[in-house]
Structure 1
Amino acid sequence: EKNIPNEACIIVANHQSSLDGLFIMSKMRHRAYKNTYFFAKEKHWKSKLMKFMARKNTVILMDINKDLKEALQKLSHILKEGKNVIIFPEGTRSKHGLQEFKETFAILSKTLDIPVVPVVIHGSNRAAYRRVKFPRYFAPVRVEFLPPVFPSENDTFQSLKSKVEQLISDKVQVYNQKKKQ
């Protein structure tokens, strides 16, 4: 995808289904794909097999009941190595619209001076939402990478979070309007 810079970035997307990560990765060039990690809730990776897969692949698991500091340190280390990180800042899936974003990505972006690439996912909730055993293969899913947002000197964590959240929200509304027509 042309909007992913050649240097490290934080890819921030709305979250509609358990397959969103795969949808994002399917749109990335191989070079970006192999240098990208996921930030995920540990509770969704319960089984030993799933935890093993996470460790062997590019998934950083976080226990939301523990200290966020350790997770931020892991993510910082990955970003400093020039790798990308995908974060779903809503923290959970949402069928329609957006839930409020968490600041994690903004803290990392501002502290490390790393760009954020907003990504809008539309339609993945129709392909596979919660407790769906088999995805609906022909449900149309759209993934759009927006231009990178670079943290400015004047940005606070909150203002950077709000800026990215608004860009994604505006695009989600456009897609929702098209769906109604």
Structure 2
Amino acid sequence: MTFYSFVKSVVLGILKPIYRFEVTGREHFPKEGGVLLCSNHINNFDPPVVGINAPRPVHFMAKEELFKVPLLGKIVSNLNAFPVKRGMSDREALRKGLAILKEGHVLGIFPEGTRSKTGELTKGLSGVGFFALRTDAAVVPCAIIGPYKAFKRLKVIYGKPINIQELRDKKASAEETTELIMEEIRKLINENR
């Protein structure tokens, strides 16, 4: 058993009884090949919640500051996360994300870049469109519908992969691609509230 799968089972065992996960759409998740997993962001627990409920291991970009915390930084690294400098274009993080997708792994990303203070979906950053356009990865939208309250149901919905081939063919902008992805996340939220 890998460290990732061990931690996943422990965290699932702790969080599942508290948040009573209702997970739908796992069948939409491609069984192999690169996957760009794009979710809304409403709580600090979103990365573990998305990760433990996904059918495949997920690599997340995480804010650089987490890796500087003793012990936590080591744990986060061993859970497939890699650092990103927020508020600027981080070429190293972009290269790492592209490599993960091209190697056929799952890259989890929160296109909003930070938690929504209102719980409503905010504007997505163009980085997610960049990853979608620069690889052949399947783009899977995900919606987390709260509240994060003990013993209340927390929904995690994985949507069908978004067909962005037309955008790739016409060499669409990263911004246009991000807007399409955000619209699919919004639809998942509205259909499952």
Which of 64, 76, 93 in structure 1 is aligned with 2:115? 93
The answer for unaligned runs of 5 or more in structure 2 is 1-25
Aligned length: 162
| TM-score, normalised via structure 2 length | 0.76
Which residue number in structure 1 is paired with residue 28 of structure 2? 3
CA deviation vs aligned residue, 1:37-73 (integer Å, no higher than 9, x gap): 0111123454121111122220011122554111100
Q: Give runs of aligned pairs for residues 53-72 of structure 1, distance below 5 A.
A: 53-65=75-87, 67-72=89-94
Which residue number in structure 1 is paired with residue 18 of structure 2? none
8 A Cα contact 1:54 1:61, kept in partner: no
Secondary structure in structure 1 of the residue aligned to 2:71: helix
The answer for unaligned runs of 5 or more in structure 1 is 128-135
Provide the C-alpha distance between the structure 2 equivalents of 1:139 and 1:42, rounded to a whole number of angstroms.
32
| 1:160 equivalenced with 2:177 (yes/no) | yes
Which of 14, 21, 25 in structure 1 is aligned with 2:47? 21
Moved more, 106-115 or 83-92: 106-115
8 A Cα contact 2:159 2:188, kept in partner: no
Q: Percent identity?
A: 23
Provide the C-alpha distance between the structure 2 equivalents of 1:150 and 1:39, rounded to a whole number of angstroms.
23
Query: Alpha-carbon deviation of 1:27?
Result: 2.3
Moved more, 20-29 or 161-170: 20-29
Which residue number in structure 2 is paired with residue 148 of structure 1? 161
| 1:104 equivalenced with 2:127 (yes/no) | yes
Query: Alpha-carbon deviation of 1:161?
Result: 0.9
Provide the C-alpha distance between the structure 2 equivalents of 1:115 and 1:103, rounded to a whole number of angstroms.
17
Query: Alpha-carbon deviation of 1:81?
Result: 1.2
| TM-score, normalised via structure 1 length | 0.81
8 A Cα contact 2:102 2:137, kept in partner: no
Partner AA of 1:3 in structure 2 = H
Partner AA of 2:126 in structure 1 = E
Provide the C-alpha distance between the structure 2 equivalents of 1:52 and 1:66, rounded to a whole number of angstroms.
24
